[in-house]
Amino acid sequence: MAGAAAPASRGRSRVRIEVVDQARTRDLRRAVLRPNLGVDDPLPGDEIADAIHLAALDGDTVVGTCLVYPAPCPWRPGERPSWRLRQMATAQERRRAGIGSAVVVSAIEAVAASGGGTFWLEAREQAVPLYARHGFMRGGPIYVDEQHPTPHQRMWQLVKSR
Ligand SMILES: CC(C)(COP(=O)(O)OP(=O)(O)OC[C@H]1O[C@@H](n2cnc3c(N)ncnc32)[C@H](O)[C@@H]1OP(=O)(O)O)[C@@H](O)C(=O)NCCC(=O)NCCS
């Protein structure tokens, strides 16, 4: 699996991206993505043993994160290998300074370093431009369903192995 990724910056945020243990990103994931859950409640992805957890670090502070793991793409089910990006989060006070972009770039690099393939996600509608900027294409219309009560967009790209 991928090791530490390149440092990245845009505007005032200078961070480095590293592969970390899932426990390291837990507080940020809960605060941003599941604020209604208790401190010890399981978070999405906790059960996935082979997930790659990326952290944007400012010193020792986790200011951004996502996880990447092997998973078949629901709308390209025959394509292997396939990888899913999930649990993207940047600390509220650090947003729109390039941290999310740096995390996405490192996630793409992690997939490339792991053999490449179909890389997919279910984006919140507001985040679509961020993913599009990094090569993800729309995989259908905006939708709302039981698992996604706010508008979401399927997105994907093919990542080459390197
Ligand atoms: C999505 C998220 C991770 C982006 O992190 P970030 O560090 O701000 O990302 P960047 O600075 O690299 O890019 C910012 C871009 O994100 C997009 N974006 C995503 N959500 C946005 C929002 N709520 N408001 C405005 N822009 C948003 C915009 O395209 C923006 O680009 P711009 O600043 O040029 O307008 C962050 O907004 C976040 O944690 N949101 C809450 C959780 C979430 O929605 N996760 C994504 C689930 S798919």
| Ligand 1 pocket mutation, candidates 63, 90, 150, criterion most atoms within 8 A of CB | 90
Task: Write down the pLDDT at residue 9.
Answer: 45
CB within 8 Å of 67: residues ≥ 6 apart:
22, 25, 45, 48, 51, 52, 53, 54, 85, 86, 87
pLDDT tens for each residue of 57-100: 999 999 999 999 999 999 998 888 999 999 999 999 999 999 99
- Mode of pairing for the β-strands spanning 52-58 and 13-20: antiparallel
Q: Compute the distance between CA of residue 123 and CA of residue 101 in angstroms, rounded to an integer.
A: 14
72: three-class secondary structure by DSSP = coil
Could you please state the CATH topology (level 3) that the domain comprising 4-159 is classified under. Aminopeptidase (3.40.630)
pLDDT tens for each residue of 1-45: 444 444 544 455 689 999 999 999 999 999 999 999 999 999 998
Quick one: tokens of 14?
A: 């200078």
Ligand 1 atom with minimal separation from the 64 CA: 7
Q: Which of 106, 16, 99 is nearest to 64 (CA)?
A: 99
Given a cut of 70, whether residue 128 has pLDDT beyond it is: yes
Q: Compute the distance between CA of residue 98 and CA of residue 22 in angstroms, rounded to an integer.
A: 22
Quick one: tokens of 40?
A: 């010890």
Whether the full predicted model's pTM is greater than 0.85, yes or no, is: yes
Ligand 1 pocket member 97 (CB < 6 A): yes
Q: Where are the domains of the chain?
A: 4-159
Half-sphere exposure of 122 (CA within 13 A, CB side): 15
Ligand 1 pocket member 133 (CB < 6 A): no
| Ligand 1 pocket mutation, candidates 63, 96, 105, criterion most atoms within 8 A of CB | 96
Ligand 1 pocket member 128 (CB < 6 A): no
Q: Compute the distance between CA of residue 25 and CA of residue 58 in angstroms, rounded to an integer.
A: 13
